[in-house]
Structure 1
Amino acid sequence: MKQALKTVWMSMRPPFLLLTVSVILLGAALAVWEGAAFDWGRFLLVMIGGLSAHASVNLLNEYEDWRSGLDAMTQRTPFSGGSGALQAHPEYAEWVMGAGYFFLGVVIAIGLYFVHELGWGLLPIGLLGVALILFYTTRLTRMPWLCLIAPGLAFGPLMVMGTYYVLTGHYSERALLVSLIPFFLVNNLLLLNQIPDIDADRRAGRVTFPMKMGVPLTLQVFDLFLLSAYGVLVILVALQWLPPLALLGLISLIFAMPMLLNLRRVRAGNQERLLPALAMNVVINLLAPALVAVALWLSR
């Protein structure tokens, strides 16, 4: 039992769940900055639901990648290639799959509760979120353009606007625009992580964006998404849709600049510089939304 639970825990990839915390804090901080009352009960339910959604997609991804043999063909890094938990203990594969569906059930239960309490406005986000969890690994990783934007859609518009809706009871253009910051960043997170897995993904029948378009174009899209994320933040502050303090999010450029330098070396053929770039990309994804959230909270 102890080893089974440890395998499930590792397959959830706990360090990466911090991304959910960061983007939900962004949605909540925006709602509070606009004047919404902070409801701890609703906030905690949203956080549990978001973490459950992230855990579910990680667990189902881990199970499917083990079942297809993909993880056995992948050269694992701290940021890609799975956790290795099922390679070490394949006898607990059913536990991992079961846990994935259990957390999906938690997501659905919390979503139905909020639909009952707040009305049908939350339903489209909930249905799309459930679809992304169920079909990301089995379907979307064979559709390069959808695979490109699905991660950002989940952690940007769905999580940020879902949190905002629960705390305010409505959607807003400002919330949609703010959600584009994690949208572009999280797209980049998965986009860069797919580069080391190109050969393994090809053998497993996947068709990811880097595989389809090649690494040079992939890195150009990466640059465009990164510029777009910071550009959205600066424009929103310039238009006074966000307070000036929100520019705290630009502190994450401390990691973005050396990351881009490393990726230039990757373009030149130095593949060893990809791993440091992957690490900095993770830090940017965690730090930028959290810094904007702190700024909004302080400016309320």
Structure 2
Amino acid sequence: MPDRSAEQTPDRPPLDRRAGEAVVVTVPEHPTLHERFNGWLYAAVTTNPPRGHVDAFTRGIVLTRAAVLPMTVVAGLVAGLLAIGRPGFSVGLFLLALLGIVLAHVANNLMNDLFDTDVGQDTESYPRAQYAPHPILSGMATRRQLGLLSLLVNVLDLAIMLVLVAYRGPWVLAFAVGGFLLSAAYTAPPLRLKKRGLGEVDVFVTWGPLMVGGTYFSATGHLPWQVWVASVPYALLCTAVLMGKHTDKIPFDEPLGIRTVPVLLGRERALALTRALVVGFYVLLVVVVAVQALPWPALAGLLALPTARQVWGPLSKPAPASKPRGFPVWPLWYAAWAFLHTRNAGAVLVVGLALAAIFGVHAF
């Protein structure tokens, strides 16, 4: 593994409540329901299976990288909470669209592992196989099984798209096909947007205008300009997570000719941009509320400022030279801190929008 040359004492790992202690769940061969649940929860938080017995559901959590799916759920909830009370709103179609974008994220994760293995990028020494079991390289699934699972998820998404098109018209098709193409092109030849420094733009567009805008349109049948604007602050948060991940992978990607934005910028400037995205969320949140694209209770997102302060230090200096005890997703370091901030900021933003929906506070 490349030397990460850090001289500072590692900060407290964000996913370990007991700093310095390895927290690993063990599931016995014949587990109780409570023990099974603990194993599922551990896999969902860390992307790693528990020790001992691993059932089919746990394998599914690990294979689909379910730990990062809340990013997509939040994007859908932002759209749905803005849509509540608007003309044409259908709770059924909203829930169907929410399921659709979550399945699209699952398919994206599966296809990324499939394509990155096919082109020779994912190997035992690459971070993807180190922070969590790689579906193919770890033996959890064969290439054929992963391909079939990816196909099944995409077919389910296609069925959801056809239902939404039947109710809302061809614009749903534009959102769904656009999202699929960006998802596939992220890692699949010949475009491989990630390799060409366009993966970060891909994520910004997908988790912002496409997911939020597409879900809102599916729920209501119309799409005012304010929704496009309202999607931008959260899109910055998701982009910050990818910036952190690609910064972690600079020593691995650069020799392979993978020109992500952090590879092009270098670590220091990449971290500066990641911090700028964190700050940009708060600045744009206030601006978007001021132009009445979000209701004022959305300012609850500012309550995540203490988390921003917490992650600022780790996002400002070299990563530790070796894995801190209890840190579950090593060698990802910056990505973990960026995800912690995105998770907390997204959660309080959703709470603010939920309060706005409950009390009928609308911005437009």
TM-score bracket for this pair, using the shorter chain length: 0.7 to 0.9
What does residue range 258-269 of structure 1 map to in structure 2 within 5 Å? Answer: 258-266=310-318
- Paired AA for residue 90 in structure 2: D
Pick aligned residue for 1:280 from 314, 328, 337: 337
Question: Is the partner of 1:219 in helix, strand or coil?
Answer: helix
Partner residue in 2 for 1:56: 107
- Paired AA for residue 159 in structure 2: A
Pick aligned residue for 1:30 from 62, 69, 82: 82
**What number of residue pairs does the alignment pair up?**
293
User: What residue ranges of structure 1 are gaps of 5+ in the alignment?
Assistant: none
Partner residue in 1 for 2:200: 148
Q: CA deviation at 1:6?
A: 5.7
- Paired AA for residue 196 in structure 2: M
What does residue range 51-200 of structure 1 map to in structure 2 within 5 Å? Answer: 51-67=102-118, 68-75=120-127, 83-89=133-139, 92-138=142-188, 139-144=192-197, 146-200=198-252
How far apart, CA to CA, are the structure 2 residues paired with 1:11 and 1:90?
Answer: 8
Partner residue in 2 for 1:291: 348
Q: CA deviation at 1:120?
A: 1.8
Once superposed, what is the RMSD of the aligned Cα atoms? 2.6
Q: Determine what percentage of the aligned residue pairs are the same residue.
A: 26
Q: CA deviation at 1:292?
A: 2.2
Q: Given that residues 28 and 164 in structure 1 are in contact (C-alpha distance below 8 angstroms), is that contact kept between their aligned partners in structure 2?
A: yes
Partner residue in 2 for 1:247: 299
How far apart, CA to CA, are the structure 2 residues paired with 1:59 and 1:186?
Answer: 19
User: What residue ranges of structure 2 are gaps of 5+ in the alignment?
Assistant: 1-53, 325-330
Partner residue in 2 for 1:19: 71
- Paired AA for residue 68 in structure 2: F
Q: 19-28 or 233-242, which moves further after superposition?
A: 233-242
Q: CA deviation at 1:199?
A: 2.8
Q: CA deviation at 1:17?
A: 1.0
How far apart, CA to CA, are the structure 2 residues paired with 1:91 and 1:233?
Answer: 42
> Which is helix-richer, 1 or 2?
1
Q: CA deviation at 1:49?
A: 0.6
- Paired AA for residue 60 in structure 1: M
How far apart, CA to CA, are the structure 2 residues paired with 1:31 and 1:55?
Answer: 24
- Paired AA for residue 98 in structure 2: M
Q: Given that residues 66 and 72 in structure 1 are in contact (C-alpha distance below 8 angstroms), is that contact kept between their aligned partners in structure 2?
A: no
Specify whether residues 244 and 40 from structure 1 end up closer, same or farther in structure 2 by C-alpha distance, changes over 3 A only: closer
TM value normalised by structure 1: 0.87
